[in-house]
Structure 1
Amino acid sequence: MKKRNLLFVTALMLVLSFMLAACGGGGDGKKESKGDGGDKKDYGIKFLSIATGGTGGTYYPLGGNFANLIKDATGIEANAITSGASAENMALIKKEETEVAFTQTDIATYATEGTRMFDGDKVENMKGLGTLYPETIQIVTTEKSGIKSVEDLKGKTVSVGESGSGTLANAEQILEVHDLTLDDVKARNLSFDDSTTGIQDGTIDAAFITAGTPTGAVEGLAATEKVSIVPIADDKIDALIEKYPYYAKETIKSGTYGLSDDTNTVAVQAMLVVRDDLSDDLVYEITKSIYENTDKIGHAKGELISAEKALEGMAIDLHPGAKKYFDEKGISSE
């Protein structure tokens, strides 16, 4: 009888030990993505910030959409933060104060080369994730200003973008091919919102705004004023592209901001960059979450974003995690 009781107790203990082991899960302690709202993989960080731009531009609302996509894919709490846009975002990456950032392809080039506004301040901890859509250089004014050409900006009060911004670099280069400099205008360093407010209240005559069209700040101006976009002549566009190959010819279509005709100008590419210390797995998932869910991007620019075009104009080295994604898709920058 005692022997049978001992065997029963032993068998019961074995059963209980197997049950406890099953409840404990795997032995490595890692949480893997369930794909059904369950636990997500441990990517080494719990919070991720995306540096965007001002609230009146395109980066900020897009960044909010991207943050939601990233959170859904990885479980990481992601958040879009406002900033002075492209150039400032490079500084935030360098100081490790953000993980992901919007910028322009030209600014990313300056940052990695240590040229122009990054002279002596090269950003070496940054890699590319992918390009997004054309960033249109819009020289905004009103019909009543009488400004019809870039040359007409001479002597006028002009917002040329915030100090250190990509817009400021664009303004300098466009003025340059027209044989003008910042000294030829009464330059003001204003945000997009402050620029359009200044045009509306008459404190400035025109503003350079580099952003995807339609731009919220300009749409707001168009609601109260007859907006005009200053065209750039074809020969000046050719000269600009010859000297600065990251530019491309762009047309702002009639109907945008109530324009009666198409307007020729130029554009650079908007892109995303990441810190190079982010894990390959995390950057792979970030890349995938954006380029495979463009139909969920609640912004007009979502229609222009695609994996197939994401390496066009890529001016810096890709992060290995992003490269893995594009390699799997058979997309090459060559």
Structure 2
Amino acid sequence: MTFMKSLSGALLAATLVAGPAAAQDPTFFRIGTGGAGGTYFPIGGTIANAISAPPGSRACEDGGQCGVPGLIAIAQSTTASVFNNAAIQNGELEAGLAAADVTRSMHLGEGAFEGNASDKLRIIANLFPEDLHLVLPAGVELDTLADLEGKRVGIAQAGSGTQVAVLQMLEIWGITRDNIDEAELNQNQSAERLADGQLDAYFYAAGWPVAAMVQLASTKGMALHSFSDEDLAKINAVIPAYIPSVIPGGVYEGIDTDTKTPAVSALLVTSSDLSEELIHGITEAMWNDSSRKMLDNGHAKGKQITPDSALNGMESLGVPLHPGAERFYREAGLLK
């Protein structure tokens, strides 16, 4: 598959710096993200910038990059969780962003991945909650997901964690691919088709605000389905990684009340094949003061990516921390 690669101007410039230091062999670190209209892509780009310090770049103490010396991290647009984890398992990516439920199922070979365990998956950090957005045309309401029967519904891209979870959720209300007109689309495509009247609804799990939805809400307008407490409990019983959450009113233009919805944690995943020293350095770089500024000044979800929440849910996830990340957290007093 051909990836769209995202290298910041700062990274690109640093790799072109002449001089003796430029002779140092670089280490490339590919991070799978998601579609350009979602949250994984900008967050992955910020993390890539934060952990990079290409050969020839100025030292951190001299105002240069404060990442891992010699590391060039590259954020690559992909179809998200399932693809990223499979690519990590196969050695096609060094790391990726992925939903917690999909990562657990793939690592253990459960559910849709039964008999095909991705045993090399390891965690660097829990990042932020991904809220499920069920997007509807402005003024449209649903009682339950059963109302989607016979409708044109975007179920997210094949290879995405959103699609895996959404199909499980829909089954609770008797909805399958056979009784909806499903569309496997990325975030931007889904928003465009809803705006054009070609979709009646679409699902997308991401940290708010989602860029494509911000644009949709401010132009054509949209609504979000707010799940009842009873429905959230049903979803949690089937997919324990999806827990009740809220998209606050005011995040999207025209939606002034809070939206109750299920959410799942987004993780930074890597491979057990990578060395303890490399992942220790990357984990350390993620949480330094320079990275903190990048996270705070980037996508809104960046502020929620903190070392204090980096280990949330790890005990019950069933996927090990990478030894390099584990060593950092122990040294930092975040893990006993």
TM range (shorter): 0.7 to 0.9
* Residues in 1 aligned to 2:188 and 2:207: alpha-carbon distance in whole angstroms: 15
Alpha-carbon deviation of 1:116? Answer: 3.0
Q: Which residue of 1 aligns with 2:79?
A: 84
Alpha-carbon deviation of 1:288? Answer: 1.5
Of the candidates 270, 276, 282, which is equivalent to residue 286 of structure 1? Answer: 282
1:127 aligns with 2:122: yes
1:235 aligns with 2:230: yes
CA contact (8 A) 2:134 2:202 kept: yes
Question: Residues 183, 233 of structure 1: CA spacing in aligned structure 2 closer, same or farther, 3 A cutoff?
Answer: farther
* Residues in 2 aligned to 1:210 and 1:141: alpha-carbon distance in whole angstroms: 14
Q: How does 1:18-57 map to 2 (within 5 A)?
A: 46-57=27-38
Aligned length: 294
CA contact (8 A) 1:167 1:210 kept: yes
Q: Which amino acid aligns with 1:66?
A: I
| Residue aligned with 1:183, SS | coil
* Residues in 1 aligned to 2:143 and 2:73: alpha-carbon distance in whole angstroms: 44
CA contact (8 A) 1:136 1:210 kept: yes
Report the TM-score when normalising by structure 1: 0.83
The CA RMSD over aligned residues, in Å, is 1.9
Q: Which amino acid aligns with 2:37?
A: G
Q: Which runs of 5+ in 2 are unaligned?
A: 1-19, 54-66
Provide the identity percentage.
Answer: 33
Q: Which residue of 2 aligns with 1:295?
A: 293
Alpha-carbon deviation of 1:328? Answer: 1.4
Alpha-carbon deviation of 1:39? Answer: 6.0
Q: Which amino acid aligns with 1:167?
A: T
CA contact (8 A) 2:140 2:223 kept: no
CA contact (8 A) 1:103 1:271 kept: yes
| Residue aligned with 2:52, SS | helix
Q: How does 1:125-164 map to 2 (within 5 A)?
A: 125-147=120-142, 149-164=144-159
CA contact (8 A) 1:246 1:313 kept: no
Question: Residues 129, 303 of structure 1: CA spacing in aligned structure 2 closer, same or farther, 3 A cutoff?
Answer: same
Q: Which residue of 1 aligns with 2:15?
A: none
Question: Residues 286, 227 of structure 1: CA spacing in aligned structure 2 closer, same or farther, 3 A cutoff?
Answer: same
Q: Which amino acid aligns with 1:304?
A: Q
Q: How does 1:93-242 map to 2 (within 5 A)?
A: 93-147=88-142, 149-242=144-237
Q: Which runs of 5+ in 1 are unaligned?
A: 1-37
* Residues in 1 aligned to 2:142 and 2:239: alpha-carbon distance in whole angstroms: 26
User: For 1:213-272, what per-residue CA distance to the aligned partner results, in whole angstroms no more than 9, with x for missing partners?
Assistant: 111111121121221001111111112212322111111111111212111001000000
CA contact (8 A) 1:150 1:231 kept: no
Question: Residues 313, 39 of structure 1: CA spacing in aligned structure 2 closer, same or farther, 3 A cutoff?
Answer: farther
Report the TM-score when normalising by structure 2: 0.83
